[in-house]
Chain A
Amino acid sequence: MKLELGYIDIKGIRFDDYNAIEDGVLVVNPDELVKPVLEDELIKSAHFEIAAPGESVRITPVKDVIEPRVKVEGPGAIFPGMIAKVDTVGSGRTHVMRGMAVVTAGPIVGFQEGIIDMTGPGADYSPFSQLHNLVLVMEMQDNGATAHEYEKAARMAGLATAARVGELARELVPDEVEVFETPTIAQSYSDELKDLPRVAYVMMLQSQGLLHDTYCYGVDVKRTLTTMISATEVMDGAIVSGNCVSACDKNTTYHHLNNPVIQDLFKQHGKTLNYVGTIITNENVYLADKLRSSDWTAKLADFLSLDAAIVSQEGFGNPDTDLILNCKKLEAKGVKTVIITDEYAGQDGKSQSLADADVAADAVVTGGNANELILLPPMDRVIGCLDYVDKIAGGHDGSLRPDGSIEAELQVITGSTNEMGFNRLSAR
């Protein structure tokens, strides 16, 4: 599959009474943009706010971060099975509003949601502090609907808003165009590629219920078998997040659209390696599902005649078992395997990092220790609310101090220990 990404650089966002992109600035009419959001009877109130890099702003509780994109050529449209009808995406041309995101914020349950600080020490830990953020703050009706229904309403409002904003980039001339092409099996044995090591990316997707789910073409991933997807389909929004627990190591929709493992594999394709495919596999609670899904990962690796694989995890706890199962079974097939994870090694960093381990896991990249303590100073403006800070994953009673500062673990920060390696800090 061949996909052109045309990047439209966004250098700012402002409100006005019309919608446009003018000289790289996104102009939105917030009253108009919020109307369709409020048509959902589960959403009691909604409004937009703007947060720019470097501003003294704290966004919390963050649910999802979404990059606006629009499909301008080729079949399908962005977020198939969610916003657009089901049709195979990943070919043709897509325009990307680079440098900005739609961020959804608002409580669904009384804990677990993330923080994005636009300045200060917290900003170093979240890549989203570097974006111009159009924040959709939502409050749900207290009408007896279930938390699952609220989660869906918030998820769909974010995706639909991003798709509407993305439409503004349809007719623009991109600042830069990048081309991505995935090989067929036959092409992966061409003269240029046949002598390079055959490498696949195994993308693990969390799939465990409320605030722990991921969707592929609209399918709840817990109800899937391990399968293959074109990396370009992922760039067109085939995979979206329903997942924000805990904030530090959950893949937002933005992470999926801009998956750095995929980007880096494309950069090395035809040079140091032969990027033959992308495997997606779930992380279910039921043990037989874990066994079956990891068996299937190894079977597909065998089918592709892989020499090596890169496996990225999502979340922690029981998904550590899926990670190790995938690694063990790939290595047993002779596939050299690198795993990407993060650590829960205690605040002193001395405890065992993962809940599972195996000698086959001898090549590990870590996104950092999510238990590490951080002091986030007060910000001049809070988008959303701080009511939940005491109760989110890495916070605790007393996390929120009277002056508005927060002492908590890195877990509270959206994307801080991301296991795709989408982090700003490194110990390289």
Chain B
Amino acid sequence: MSAKAYKVVTNNPLVKERLDESVELYFFEEDTHRDLLERVRDFVHKGYRILTHPLAGSVKPWETPYRSVMITAEKEDKIDISSLEMIEQAIFALEKSKARPVVLNEKVLVDFQLIDLSLIQSALPSAEAQGRH
């Protein structure tokens, strides 16, 4: 695998299974959705930029336990403020709904994994095509 300009931070085992061969992953199996977003925030604090929006596109963040976020492979000298604002907003969106019930049905969990995989896969052609991230 040649070095790519991006990496994916994920807690989704299906992303691990399907993309591990082609994409560099930071896989945190034990992370909750909230843990994963905080971990992305840690990366941002270290100088990495976010390349995909940390919120899902209509799957409610308080329902799905899975999240995959693409970040730059290399960190930069200073913190990217727009990445920081975006991840803080995503954590806020998750936080405002913490009282919500969580779906634990096994089949549905697999489908949530599938939707998260599909979301991150939809970004791959753009990430591959682009020169400077």
Is A286 touching B96 in the complex (CB atoms < 8 A)?
no
User: Are B53 and A210 neighbours in the complex by a CB distance under 8 Å?
Assistant: no
Residues in chain A near residue B61, CB distance under 8 A: 317
Structural contact, B103 and A111, CB atoms closer than 8 A? yes
Contact with A along B111-133 (1 / 0, CB 8 A): 11011001111110111001001
- Could you mark each residue 68-89 of chain B with 1 if its beta carbon is under 8 Å from any beta carbon of chain A, else 0? 0010000000000000001001
Chain A contacts for B55, CB-based, 8 A: 317-318, 320-321, 355
Chain A residues with CB under 8 A of B32: none
Complex A-B, nearest 3 residue pairs according to Cβ-Cβ distance, in ascending order: A209-B118, A318-B53, A210-B118
Name which of A118-126, A332-340, A391-399 contacts chain B: A391-399
User: Would you call A289 and B114 a contact (CB within 8 A)?
Assistant: no
How many A-B Cβ pairs are below 8 Å? 130
- CB neighbours of B15 from chain A (8 A): none
Q: Is the CB of B57 within 8 A of A317?
A: yes
Given contacts A208-B122, A212-B57, contact A396 B103 (CB under 8 A): yes
- A285 B111 Cβ-Cβ under 8 A: no
Q: Are A111 and B108 in contact (CB under 8 A)?
A: yes
What chain B residues lie within 8 Å of A284 (beta carbons)? 122-123, 126
A109 to B93, CA, bound (A): 24
Tell whether, in the assembled complex, residue B57 and residue A109 are in contact, meaning their CB atoms are under 8 Å apart.
Answer: no
Say whether A182 faces chain B, with CB atoms less than 8 Å apart: no
Q: Which residue of B lies closest to A316 (CB)?
A: B58
Also in contact, A287 and B111, with CB within 8 A (given A315-B58, A351-B96, A393-B60):
no
A209-B56 Cα distance, complex, nearest whole Å: 11
Give which listed residue, B52, B86, B92, B112, contacts A286 with CB less than 8 A. B52
Q: Which residue of A lies closest to B116 (CB)?
A: A209
Q: Residues of B contacting A319 with CB < 8 Å? A: 57-58
List residues 364-393 of chain A with CB under 8 A from any CB of chain B: 390-391, 393
Binding site for A on B (CB under 8 A): 50-61, 63, 70, 86, 89-90, 92-93, 96-97, 100-101, 103-105, 107-108, 110-112, 114-115, 118-123, 125-127, 130, 133
The answer to whether A317 and B58 touch across the interface, beta carbons within 8 angstroms, is yes
The residue in chain A whose Cβ has the minimal distance to the Cβ of B61 is A317
Whether A147 sits at the interface, judged by CB under 8 Å, is yes
Interchain CA distance A110-B96 in the complex, whole Å: 25
Q: A110-B107, A209-B122, A355-B90 are in contact. Are A396 and B101 (CB under 8 A)?
A: yes
Q: Could you tell me the distance between the alpha carbons of A317 and B93 in the complex, rounded to whole angstroms?
A: 9
Q: Complex Cα distance A321/B54, Å? A: 11
Query: Are B118's CB and A110's CB within 8 A?
Result: no
Asked if A346 and B126 make an inter-chain contact with CB atoms under 8 angstroms apart, the answer reads no
| Docked-complex contact A289 and B126, CB < 8 angstroms | yes
Residue A246 CB within 8 A of the other chain: yes
Q: Is A267 an interface residue (CB 8 A)?
A: no
Determine how close the nearest CB of chain B comes to the CB of A321; give it in whole angstroms: 6
CB distance from A283 to the nearest CB of B (A): 7
Do A285 and B123 contact each other (CB < 8 Å), given the known contacts A206-B57, A397-B104? Answer: yes
